[in-house]
Amino acid sequence: MRIDQYIENKKRVHGRPICAYVYDLGRLRKHVNTLKSGLPAFCRLFYAVKANPDPRILGTLAPIVDGFEVASGGELHKVHQEKTVLFGAPAKKQEEIEEAIDAGVEAINVESFHDLNRIEWLSKERGAVTPVLIRVNLSRDVPESHHMMSGVPTQFGVDEREVPQIIQKALQMDHVRVEGFHFHAMSNNLNAEAHVQFVSMCLEKAKSWQNRFELDIHTVDVGGGIGINYWNPEEAFDWSLFTSGLHKMESQMDGLTLVLELGRYMTAAAGSYVTEVIDVKANHDHHFALIRGGSHHLRLPAAWKMSHPFRVHPIEEWEAPYERPGMKGAEVTIAGELCTPNDVLVKSEYVEELRAGDVVIFDYAGAYAWTISHHEFLSHPEPEFIYLEEKQ
């Protein structure tokens, strides 16, 4: 069963407006296998659970990825315990650190001197030695990033200028072990060549600290940040160019392992938000289509102030005893059912035709979509969650 078939079946058997997240697990499985097969042997592929923690998504990814990256105790509880886990968050609660240590995670990110002190203390209480990755806020910015997470003041990581001091402090401790460095600095980068250069820079800095302090490290974690081109999906991040650049770094690795924590790039294309048009009207000479759903289900376009990629699935049947509202050959704004002007998913985009009863499919909704949205506002019903498999 594909999305179009789901829509047709739903229209035949249910009178309420269509509103659903549809996850294509077969497509996800194929995509992630392709990503992994292109990486050199010194790379490990982790999934950043924050992108989409849906249990069926996690279950699909578990046999393929090398591990999960989690950013809370809640995410730690959701991942498959048999998989390797990296734990990182800027404001760790004590109980989260305790749970991460007790779970035997591969490493915990150190975001500050206070972080390091707490991990040492809690590890000592347990008689454990905890591997840590020092998260670095680089002095140089990464201009290709959609969100600036490095090179500028942020709440993330240790200022690069203070990395030598935190290394020295860690080396004086008995219950933490510096396993490597973490450099997550990008968000939604679309430039593959720039991403290769970023990885190379991270590797160079990690090796310089390794040599200076004679560290027995194994991991250079460059985070995620590989993006989805929501504005022009046909001009996507060039994964082949990126992996080709990684393969050329093999001689520079010197036994180190490179970790990628992909989130959005892994799951976005496998999810769609599917919703029915409730009304179409003109207001001050502009067309509006009002849908069942909106930013309380899919907050990303409002948060990024963008028009989300969409397509129209026309429904020809119209059984109501009154005229059907619609518009043709003009720009339309697609808005949701909330009582706020910010509830907009598409702003002034041209469509050939759109009518009440038609269904709009918002593609690339498999990441940073449902779980970042304000579900409780106005207490509308949640969408359905539909999972498509290859065999369907």
Q: Are strands 19-24 and 43-48 parallel, antiparallel or unpaired?
A: unpaired
Res 145: pLDDT: 47
Task: Check residue 9 and give its pLDDT.
Answer: 78
CA–CA separation, 123 vs 313, rounded Å?
56
Q: Pairing between strand 130-137 and 176-182?
A: parallel
Would you write out the chain's pLDDT as a tens digit for each of its 392 residues? 588 878 877 765 666 899 999 999 999 999 999 999 999 999 999 999 999 999 999 999 999 999 999 999 999 999 977 789 999 999 999 999 999 999 999 999 999 999 999 999 999 999 999 999 999 999 866 655 444 445 566 777 899 999 999 999 999 999 999 999 999 888 899 999 999 999 999 999 999 999 999 999 999 999 999 999 999 988 999 999 999 999 999 999 999 999 999 999 999 999 999 999 999 999 999 999 999 999 999 999 999 999 999 999 999 999 899 999 999 999 999 999 999 999 999 999 999 999 999 999 999 999 999 999 999 999 999 999 999 986 54
Q: Give CA angle at 292 (288, 297), nearest 5°.
A: 105
Q: What is the pLDDT of residue 116?
A: 98
Q: Are 111 and 135 in contact (CB under 8 A)?
A: yes
Contacts of 246 (CB under 8 A, 6+ apart): 39, 40, 43, 196, 199, 258
In this structure, whether the domain defined by 88-262 belongs to CATH 2.60.15.10 is answered with: no
Angle at 344 between CA 340 and CA 345, to 5 degrees: 150
Q: What is the pLDDT of residue 82?
A: 72
Q: Are 246 and 198 in contact (CB under 8 A)?
A: no
Can you give the pLDDT at residue 319?
A: 87
pLDDT the model gives residue 23: 97
Strands (E), the chain: 19-24, 43-48, 67-70, 84-87, 107-110, 130-137, 158-159, 176-182, 219-221, 257-262, 271-283, 286-291, 310-313, 326-335, 344-355, 359-362, 384-388
| Whole-number pLDDT of residue 187 | 86
Closest CA to 146 of 199, 183, 191: 191
Tell me what pLDDT residue 392 has.
Answer: 44
Q: What pLDDT, on a 0 to 100 scale, did the predictor assign at position 154?
A: 77
Instruction: Give the active site residue among 19, 43, 202, 339.
Output: 339
Evaluate whether the domain defined by 3-22+269-388 bears CATH number 2.40.37.10: yes
Does the annotation mark 339 as catalytic? yes
Q: What is the DSSP letter of 187?
A: S
Rounded Cα–Cα distance for residues 176 and 168 (Å): 12
Domain ranges for the chain: 3-22+269-388, 88-262
Quote the tokens at residue 199.
């990885």
Distance, in Å, from the CA atom of 339 to the CA atom of 303, rounded to the nearest integer, reads: 17
- The residues, ordered by sequence, that sit 6+ positions from 133 with a Cβ below 8 Å of its Cβ are 86, 88, 107, 108, 109, 110, 178, 179, 180, 181, 182, 219, 221
pTM over 0.85: yes
